[in-house]
Amino acid sequence: MPKAGIIYNNVKPIASRIAMELQDQFTCAGWDVITTTSMGGILGYSSPESPVCHTPIDGLTPPGFDSEMRFAVVLGGDGTVLAASRQVAPTGIPLLTVNTGHMGFLTETYVSQLPRAIEQVMAGDFDLEEQAMLTVKVFRGQSVLWEALCLNEMVLHREPLTSMCHFEIAVGQHAPVDIAADGIIVSTPTGSTAYSLSAGGPVITPGVPVLQLVPICPHSLASRALVFPDTETVNIYPVNIPRLVMVVDGNGGCYIFPEDRVYLERSRYSVRFIRLQPPEFFRILREKLGWGLPHIAKPTSVELP
């Protein structure tokens, strides 16, 4: 019996309703179906009084989501996709992402197109696109205080955000650099169209094997976005007193103290997205962000005097 999964945002009534309808549809078609909410992939926050909030990366996978599952349907917005990616990336389960939110930059299809999309996926008529993820860990000495998979970006800043921070950052075996800024962002190509883009970083097409480091409002004309191979690791040593705040994918993180070290590397896991048509990144940029659209009327013909 083939097996499919459903991951849905139970905060949204429409996602919950469609999840139940899909479960009935799969069951009637002779499929074994397992449902879960995306809450299991939401990252927790530690507190200054209790800085250790350590859930191992492999510990987020829901029961029943294993290598025998042919695919999973994700119902929600971009936040739900980010959470679901952390839940299933260690298993390699392909994800069909369905937008029930607003922007839906990471989603493949819409609720109105879901019946046809499900038929296509059940028939195996789709492509797969793999997107890189980051492993983010916080060390104090040799102990791991916190870790997570990251699809978009890691952000490190002070409370409040408009306060100057100082960082010592070592990329690979290169000499450490000092950066003074409101914060820093380390992002994947997927995350290059998220916070990193708003902070002035470049857009990077999926599949390019790089990471990028973007200072937020740097206090120097010389501090600009840096793009480097994703084979390089990143170590960040904060020097602020008393602490900084780290946020991963916009929904969880922990406090970072001067004695801590933030370590990032490309994860051995990647997320596999189902594509119902050949991936066309520029089309997505145009539809979601308006990239490449003309801002002035262009003449269709030229009249000669």
Catalytic, out of 78, 230, 249, 260: 78
Contact (Cβ atoms closer than 8 angstroms) between residue 192 and residue 204: yes
Give which of 146, 181, 151 is closest to 89, Cα–Cα: 151
Is residue 276 annotated as involved in ligand binding? Answer: no
Is residue 197 annotated as involved in ligand binding? Answer: yes
Is residue 9 annotated as involved in ligand binding? Answer: no
Is residue 79 annotated as involved in ligand binding? Answer: yes
CA distance 108 to 117: 10
216: exposed, middle or buried (Cβ count in 10 Å: 0-12, 13-18, 19+): buried
Is residue 196 annotated as involved in ligand binding? Answer: yes
Give which of 106, 128, 95, 84 is closest to 284, Cα–Cα: 106
- Nearest-10 crossing angle of helices 13-28, 114-122: 40
CA 75 to mean position of chain CA atoms: 16
At 23, which helix (H) or strand (E)? helix 13-28
Is residue 110 annotated as involved in ligand binding? Answer: no
Q: Is 58 a catalytic residue?
A: no
Is residue 89 annotated as involved in ligand binding? Answer: no
Is residue 193 annotated as involved in ligand binding? Answer: yes
Is residue 194 annotated as involved in ligand binding? Answer: yes
CA distance 163 to 183: 9
Is residue 198 annotated as involved in ligand binding? Answer: yes
Q: Point out the residues that are catalytic.
A: 78
Which parts are annotated binding residues for NAD(+)? 78-79, 152-153, 182, 193-198, 251
Which parts are annotated binding residues? 78-79, 152-153, 182, 193-198, 251
